[in-house]
A and B are shown apart, each in its own frame.
Chain A
Amino acid sequence: MIDEEDKEQDGRSDFGISNRGRNYRRRNLSDNRRHFVGQDDEERRQHADLEEDDISCKRKRHGSDVMKDEILYKLTELLTHIGEKSNSSLESNLEGLAQVLETDLDTYKEHIIEILISCMCNMPDKLTVYSTLVGLLNAKKYNFGAELLDKLLSRLNELMKANDFDRALYVIIFFSDLVNCRVITLNSFVDFLVDLINCASQTGVPQVRRDWFVYVFLHCLPWVGQELAEKNQNQLNAMLDIVEKYLHSRNKEHVKILQVWTNSIHEQEDYLDCLWAQILKLRSDKWEEKFITRHYVAFDGTLADALQHNLPNFESPPHIPNSIYPLPSVIFRFFDYADCPDDGPLLPGAHSIERFLVEEELRWILDQEKANRKKCASRLLEYDKRTLVPINYVILEVVFSQLFHLPEAPTRPIFYGSLLIELCKTKSMPQVIAQAAEIFYQRIDSMQVACIDRLIDWFSYHMSNFEYRWSWSDWSDCIDLDRLAPKHIFVREVLDKCMRLSYHQRLAEFLPPAFEKMIPEKPVISYDLNDDEHPDRDFAIILEKAFRDKISADEMIDLLRSKTGNRMDINSRLSIFFKVLLYLARKTFSHNFAALTRYYSTLKEFIGGREDAQLTILRTLYETWKLNGQMIIVLVTKLLKMSLVDASAVVAWLFSDEMKHEFERLWIWEILNRALEHVSGHVHRSRQAVENRKLKNERKDSDHEKDDFDMEADEHHITDPNAVELFVKESEFADLHECLKNLLLDVLHAIFSSLIEYNGLCFQKFAITLAEHIVNSESSGRDFQNNWYSYVTGRFKNVFLKHWKDLFEFREALEKELFKEFAIDINVMENYNQFKALMA
């Protein structure tokens, strides 16, 4: 007992854990006394007495359960924090922890294994710390290693079945480092890798499934490639040959829809092609990499004597219709060594394995800390390999790779915005971010429209946190460009967002005079019913008085109806009513919401479900607030949520002829996206309700079966309401699902029509140009076509990217109802094929 306690104390003190227990203090006092007096019988007797007292106290104070919980808590703390900043070296901490754990291995083996697996699955950036620890523990207790491996394989299987392929990857990488730590035999791990390759070679399954197995296999090679090359060269080469053949035959149509830039000085490369190139370079460098921290090297003596385990056989879960594999991706490339300061470390090349590994680790840190931007920023900046790379540039590249990741960013874009603001609180980072913003502007001509939208949101948000200070003059070349030129769009929309975050006058204050043309018009209301000459002025006056007198919704209905027999039709009356309402509520959003709520039943009465009435409302809204995009967005959203208009009417309105001249504005597409998300959200909630009801019914059925005393008639009576409720929810879901499908088809059809029509016009224009032989026309025509076509094509792709999950469900309807009609146009079909390849 004394010895065990001594070990625990020694081990734990290495981690700076202070023990204020009486026992510890008393031992110190005893030591002091012994030092002065020297040992004698009396001293020894006193010590024995103290020990007896301690035992009594423990018996009185702690039940065994409480003590157990305390120990588990300490174990958890020790295991989760190993590898963090410490006064001692990591090696001595690992050794100390291994000694502490050895004591508890028999008693708490299952808990320790569970904690280790949790840590490894959730903190992959400390993977080599945990693998080394496992190696040390295995060297002390052979049985521990065996049980851990069984548990890991079981966990791997569970993760794959749950479609959690990120964590499954961490488990497999962990296996490869356990080979280095002498826990797993190399031969059995080679067999495991062969199984991965076999899964990758399996036909009749989606490419994204095979992709994942290839990715995992390649991902292991930086860790064990050298060992494999030394001892299993032939098998390694055979596996690499299989991978190479697969990569050559692989469909890569998805690349174009996922690239941030269509034409960039840095290749935007498919992720497997890029990793393959990196592995080839690693191979030609004889599998020597200078990046992975190999803690186990410090324990060569200990680990060399350890008994290794054969990795048990692993069979991956088969492909089933519910399997959801990671989408393919394209590697974001933004900087090269020429962008970085001459005096710092060199940026590893795009095809070096170091580039892959550092970006992967930073991505893991981002993933762990996405709930805390301050901690995330400090962990990125304090990254333990920050002296090996130009850290500011690598951090920025990784952050932007996530912000611009297609089809969607891993987490909400505003997180990256606030993270970058946090990173700006250091000395050198602001300059690099400014450099990045300049580079984005210079390369924006070939940037995907979906990414330009995110860039606009990020940059305007960033400006609003730094008093809008920017060298705007550097961007004055955009002022005279065509309205659809990407640079012009970008600056125009950034200024519009800056205005929304501040106010119109503020723009004039921070912009140089040359930018006067770029400043949006003042966002004022356009109300023509104040004009005494207006034919509807009299009716407007009556309505204004009614509103000011706060008449009820019902009275308003009567008032509007009293015009029956007059020359105005119902939609005209509705339009004037709505226009006056908007005018009187113009002060704030809240006034508008209050007005809509108060006269909800009036609007409902006159709109009903009529699409033409809904279009009237939307047209009136636009006429009144056409200079204030934000107001239109907010009010359309509100009308949707109040069910005064529905999404299909919004779509019809947005793509109507009268809105064509606004096609280029960002707020149009913001509204479209909100309308689609509104319906999509309904569908998902409805699906969830169906599933919840099914679960509830199943629970009741199983409860019911256990009740032996119920009469059959009672059973029937009880189950009926449940069945009816389920049927109602399923019908609801089916209706909503159909509605969403039709809506998406309408949107795609409308954009399609624009493209088809444009192509026709293009042909005519081309012919005219040729006939006229005017060089200037030809030149300007080409530019115009290019900008317009790029923009609309980008918007088309953006619909697929933003709603890829829903659209994938509807792909059969897409092919049957939509593309047959337009099959003739190869350019348009190309976009769809790119989309389809995402999950092929």
Chain B
Amino acid sequence: MSGVVNFRAKDDASVLGPYRDQRFKGTLREQEKLLLTSKTLYVGNLSYYTTEEQTYELFSRAGDIKRIIMGIDRFKKTPCGFCFVEYYLREDAEDAMRCINGTRLDDRIIRTDWDAGFVEGRQYGRGKHGGQVRDEYRKDYDPGRGGWNRVIATRNAGLE
């Protein structure tokens, strides 16, 4: 019956963000299909100093965590400000999207997004200098993410 009101449509937790993994092996449709049933969240805007333990404590408030994979600098192998959180249950991941996305961890507002699922290799930053791409272009000074972006930092070092 097409006239029946769908009240569940109001739930934002299932709404997919605009991001799509450009290196996903498969079609866009396949990626989106995985996103709609995924139990894995991408978490962004972490401080470089945020630990797995802190992430665990916060995200376990939404349910049982299966694993957390910290994003690391491709060259230095140190945390570079993102991670993947995988839950055992989809509804727990949805609760994290509803209640944790946009709140703070280590005094920073973190962002969660659905992820098609962790694959080996995705834990590495894809930026030119080894970190995240976004840090290559960041214009502000962020003490939690290494200060200035690399280009500005290099230029400043040259001035000294």
Give the interface of A toward B (CB within 8 A): 69, 72-73, 75-76, 79-80, 108, 111, 114-115, 118-119, 122, 368-369, 371-373, 375, 412-415, 417-418, 421, 457, 461, 464-465, 467, 497, 500-503, 588-590, 593, 630-631, 634, 637
Contacts and interface: CB of A to CB of B under 8 A. Distances in A.
A464 B105 CA distance: 7
A500 B95 contact: no
Interface of B: 1-5, 7, 10-13, 51-54, 56-58, 61-62, 64, 67-70, 95, 98-100, 103-107
B40 to A, nearest CB: 15
A414 B61 contact: yes
Given A465-B104, A588-B52, A590-B69, A637 B2 contact: no
Contact of A118 (B5, B11, B69, B104): B5
19 contacts: A75-B3, A76-B5, A371-B13, A372-B12, A412-B95, A417-B99, A464-B58, A464-B104, A467-B107, A497-B57, A501-B57, A503-B51, A588-B51, A588-B53, A588-B70, A589-B52, A590-B70, A631-B53, A634-B56
A50 to B, nearest CB: 32
Nearest to B58: A501
Given A372-B98, A418-B99, A589-B52, 6 more contacts: A72-B2, A119-B5, A371-B10, A413-B61, A414-B99, A461-B61
B67 to A, nearest CB: 7
Which of B53, B68, B70 has most chain A Cβ within 10 Å? Answer: B53
B3 A76 contact: yes
A630 B130 CA distance: 32
Chain B, interface SS category: mixed
Given A415-B95, A464-B104, A118 B4 contact: yes
Which of B61, B95, B98 has most chain A Cβ within 10 Å? Answer: B98
A356 B51 CA distance: 46
B103 A589 contact: no
- What are the nearest 3 A-B pairs in CB distance? A111-B3, A371-B11, A500-B57
B2 to A, nearest CB: 5
Given A371-B98, A637-B64, A115 B4 contact: yes
Contacts of B4: 114-115, 118
A350 B62 CA distance: 34
Contacts of B107: 467
A373 B97 CA distance: 11
B67 A593 contact: yes
A368 B7 CA distance: 9
Contacts of B106: 502
Contacts of A588: 51-53, 70
Contacts of B13: 371
Nearest to B67: A593
Nearest to A79: B5
Given A69-B2, A122-B7, A590-B70, A412 B99 contact: yes
Contacts of B98: 371-373, 415, 418
Contacts of B12: 371-372
Contacts of B103: 418, 421, 465
Contacts of A418: 98-100, 103
Contacts of B54: 500-503
A589 B53 contact: yes
A70 to B, nearest CB: 10
A500 B56 CA distance: 9
Contacts of A589: 52-53, 56, 68
Nearest to B1: A114
B62 A412 contact: yes
A414 B11 contact: no
B53 A500 contact: yes
A590 B52 contact: yes
Contacts of A76: 3, 5
Which of B2, B57, B70, B104 has most chain A Cβ within 10 Å? Answer: B57
A461 B57 CA distance: 10
A84 B65 CA distance: 40
A707 to B, nearest CB: 32
Contacts of B68: 589-590
A69 B1 CA distance: 10
A413 B60 CA distance: 12
B70 A414 contact: no
B95 A414 contact: yes
Contacts of A372: 10-12, 98
Given A414-B62, A501-B58, A502-B54, A114 B67 contact: no
A421 B98 CA distance: 13
B122 to A, nearest CB: 15
